[in-house]
Amino acid sequence: MYILLGVLLVYLIIKLFKKKTRSNALFKVLIVLNISYFIYQIFWGMLYFQTPIIAKLPKTEVTLEVKKALALEYLEKSKATRMFVKEDKNGVFVIKDLNAIQQEILDRQKMLPTFISKKESTTTNSFKPSLFGKAMNFTGILGYYNPFTAEAQFNADLPSSYLPFTLSHESSHQLGFAREQEANFIGYLIGVQSKNPELRYSTEYFTLKSLLNSIINEDENFVKTALENYSEEMKRDRLNEKKFVTEHQGFLNEFFGFTNNLFLKSNQQEGSITYSYFIDLLVRYRSMITP
């Protein structure tokens, strides 16, 4: 669908440069763009105006010390859960059964706290590897929700440490959580207490990385010490992620990072590299459930 739409737009744009067809082509371009935007808004865009999750959680101060304590907690959780997942010949985490993870995510959707979400979960497995997976490697995009087909698309080439939480994140969009950091938070709720160690490890590891990213500008030494205290298994996973990112750096990565940042800000969200809202949600939620 996206390919056909892109081909149509390219065809019409080419027509714009021809004097005889210019006015007619411009009219058709505007029609295609307006219809597409209208369908997008009806199917998805209006969800950006729903009550933010943060309004449902108690106010609490997000201090550096609180973030450090959570980082140390999720470091230990990640180290413990990492022992229960499989490795490849290089000692890097590898997913054993992707279908089992997908089914676990669908099952865990039904267990979300009702004060957070009363949205009805789906029983339909709509996770699909993207046809653009090879190209996505060079864009920094891990997955995306297709609002026109209600499918959770993912890049099947991702390192295993990324993939389970990416699926959980995209499934949160399927539930109707449009904002990126809210989808991260719902993905966290789905995965953090999962009985599937692969999903739980990916979720705990994502949470740890998000906390460290939120701390690094305030206390770089703490982050360095935390990284040094990764288990040997986690260090191999981290090197594998860095290798994947390094091998796929380039113009497309910068371009899509820029355009994604604009898209997020145009839809009442923080930029694409901001973790503060997710951290706020995490800290407020933990303050509720921790005595």
Distance of CA 247 to the CA centre of its chain: 21
**CB of 130 closer than 8 Å to CB of 136:** yes
Which residue numbers in the chain have pLDDT < 70? 250-275, 291
- How far is CA 231 from each of CA 25, 159, 227, 237, 242, rounded to the nearest angstrom? 59, 18, 9, 10, 16
pLDDT of residue 197: 98
The C-alpha atoms of residue 270 and residue 264 are separated, in whole angstroms, by: 6
Phi, psi of 253 (to 5 degrees): -60, -45
The C-alpha atoms of residue 174 and residue 169 are separated, in whole angstroms, by: 9
**CB of 91 closer than 8 Å to CB of 233:** yes
- Bridge-based pairing of strands 151-154 and 143-146 is antiparallel
pLDDT of residue 56: 93
**Closest listed residue to residue 83, CA positions, set 225, 201, 195:** 201
Q: What is the 3-state secondary structure (H, E, C) of 240-271?
A: HHHHHHHHCCCHHHHHHHHHHHHHHHHCCCCC
Domain spans of the chain? 2-43, 54-289
pLDDT of residue 137: 82
